[in-house]
Structure 1
Amino acid sequence: MSKQPTENSRKLIYAKINELYIQTRSKYLVQFPDSYVTFNKKHSARVVVLNDSMLKTHIDGDLTYGIFNGGYFNKFITFDVDFNDKGLARWATLKLIDVLVREFNIKRQDIHVSVSGNKGYHVDMFFDKPIPVKEIRAFYDNVIATVGKLQDGQIEFRPSWTQGVKLPLGVHQKTGNRCWFCDNETLTPIKSFDYLLDVEPMDSTIITEADFGLTDKQASEFEAVAAETNIMANVIDVSAALQKARRILESGRLTESNSRHSTTLTLACFYNSQGFEQEEAVEAIMDILNATPPQYFSKGSTPDHWLKEAKRLVAYAYEKDMKLGNADKQVTIYKSEILAVLQCGTFKQKQMLYAMLVTSKRYGPTFYLKTKTAMAMIGTTSRETVQNAIKTLVQKGYVEYRRKGEVDIAKSLELGQFRHKPNKYRLLLPEVADDEPSVEVSNEQSVVDVALKLCDVKEIKRYVKRREYENKWAL
Structure 2
Amino acid sequence: MDNDISVIAKKMKNLFVTERKKYIIQNEDGSYTWINKNLNDEMIDLHLGRKRTYGIFCGAELTKFISFDVDIPSKEVVQSIYQVLNQIGISSEFIHTSWSGTKGYHVDVYFSSTIGYPKMVQLYNYVAYKVLQIHSDIDKDKIECRPSPTQGLKLPLGINRKNKDEKSNICWYVNDELKPIETLDYILNIKPIDINQIRAIIKRLPTIESENISKHKPIAKTDLSKSASHNKKIKTGETLSSLENLFKNGIRQKGTRHKSLLKLAIWLNTRNHRRESCEEILRNWMRNQKKEYYDTPLEICYKEISRIVEGVYSKNIVLGKGKTKTKIAVSRNDLLTIHQYPKKFHKTINAIFIQNALQMKMVNFI
Shorter-normalised TM range? 0.5 to 0.7
Question: Which position in structure 1 is the counterpart of 2:35?
Answer: 39
CA positional deviation for 1:445: 7.0
Question: Which position in structure 2 is the counterpart of 1:194?
Answer: 185
- Report the 3-state secondary structure (helix = DSSP H, G, I; strand = E; otherwise coil) of the residue aligned with 2:115: strand
Q: Distance in 1 between matches of 2:6 and 2:129?
A: 40
Question: Which position in structure 2 is the counterpart of 1:132?
Answer: 116
CA positional deviation for 1:329: 4.8
Question: Which position in structure 1 is the counterpart of 2:309?
Answer: none
- Report the 3-state secondary structure (helix = DSSP H, G, I; strand = E; otherwise coil) of the residue aligned with 2:201: coil
Name which of 171, 190, 200 aligns with 1:209. Answer: 200
Question: Which position in structure 1 is the counterpart of 2:174?
Answer: 182
Deviations 1:177-231 (A, max 9, x none): 1110111x2212111100111112111233322355xxxxxxxxxxxxxxxxxxx
Q: 1:319 to 1:200 in 2, by over 3 A?
A: farther
| TM-score, L = length of structure 1 | 0.45
Q: Distance in 2 between matches of 1:117 and 1:39?
A: 22
Q: Distance in 2 between matches of 1:202 and 1:99?
A: 16
- Report the 3-state secondary structure (helix = DSSP H, G, I; strand = E; otherwise coil) of the residue aligned with 1:97: helix
Higher relative contact order, structure no. (Cα contacts within 8 Å, ≥ 6 residues apart): 2
Q: List gaps (5 residues or longer) in structure 2.
A: 240-323, 332-346, 360-366
Name which of 135, 141, 148 aligns with 1:160. Answer: 148
1:278·1:318 contact (CA, 8 Å) conserved in 2? no
Question: Which position in structure 2 is the counterpart of 1:442?
Answer: 327
- Calculate percent identity across the aligned residue pairs: 33
Q: Distance in 2 between matches of 1:18 and 1:168?
A: 12
Q: Distance in 2 between matches of 1:279 and 1:199?
A: 41
Q: 1:170 to 1:319 in 2, by over 3 A?
A: farther
Name which of 40, 57, 74 aligns with 1:68. Answer: 57
Paired AA for residue 237 in structure 2:
Q
Q: Distance in 1 between matches of 2:191 and 2:238?
A: 43
Paired AA for residue 158 in structure 2:
G
1:170·1:179 contact (CA, 8 Å) conserved in 2? yes
Q: 1:204 to 1:70 in 2, by over 3 A?
A: same
Q: Distance in 1 between matches of 2:232 and 2:108?
A: 24
Deviations 1:385-417 (A, max 9, x none): xxxxxxxxxxxxxxxxxxxxxxxxxxxxxxxxx
Paired AA for residue 153 in structure 2:
V
Question: Which position in structure 2 is the counterpart of 1:106?
Answer: 90
Q: What does 1:199-348 align with in structure 2 at a 5 Å threshold?
A: 199-210=190-201, 262=206, 265=208, 278=219, 280-281=221-222, 328-330=235-237
Deviations 1:205-258 (A, max 9, x none): 33322355xxxxxxxxxxxxxxxxxxxxxxxxxxxxxxxxxxxxxxxxxxxxxx
Deviations 1:303-361 (A, max 9, x none): xxxxxxxxxxxx9x9999698xxx735289xxxxxxxxxxxxxxxxxxxxxxxxxxxxx
Name which of 42, 51, 67 aligns with 1:78. Answer: 67
Deviations 1:1-55 (A, max 9, x none): xx6x34xx212111101111111222001111211111002xxxxxxx2222211
Q: Distance in 1 between matches of 2:80 and 2:118?
A: 24
Deviations 1:132-166 (A, max 9, x none): 11111111101111112342661100111111101
| TM-score, L = length of structure 2 | 0.57
CA positional deviation for 1:453: 7.2
Name which of 158, 170, 175 aligns with 1:170. Answer: 158
Q: 1:211 to 1:50 in 2, by over 3 A?
A: closer
Q: 1:279 to 1:174 in 2, by over 3 A?
A: closer
Paired AA for residue 192 in structure 1:
T
Aligned length: 242
- Report the 3-state secondary structure (helix = DSSP H, G, I; strand = E; otherwise coil) of the residue aligned with 1:190: coil
Question: Which position in structure 1 is the counterpart of 2:9?
Answer: 14
Deviations 1:402-450 (A, max 9, x none): xxxxxxxxxxxxxxxxxxxxxxxxxxxxxxxxxxxxx96334279xx9x
CA RMSD of aligned residues (A): 3.9
1:14·1:52 contact (CA, 8 Å) conserved in 2? yes
Q: Distance in 1 between matches of 2:115 and 2:201?
A: 13
- Return the index of the structure with the highest Cα Rg: 1
Is 1:95 the counterpart of 2:80 in the alignment?
yes
Question: Which position in structure 2 is the counterpart of 1:120?
Answer: 104
1:20·1:126 contact (CA, 8 Å) conserved in 2? yes
Q: 1:119 to 1:441 in 2, by over 3 A?
A: same
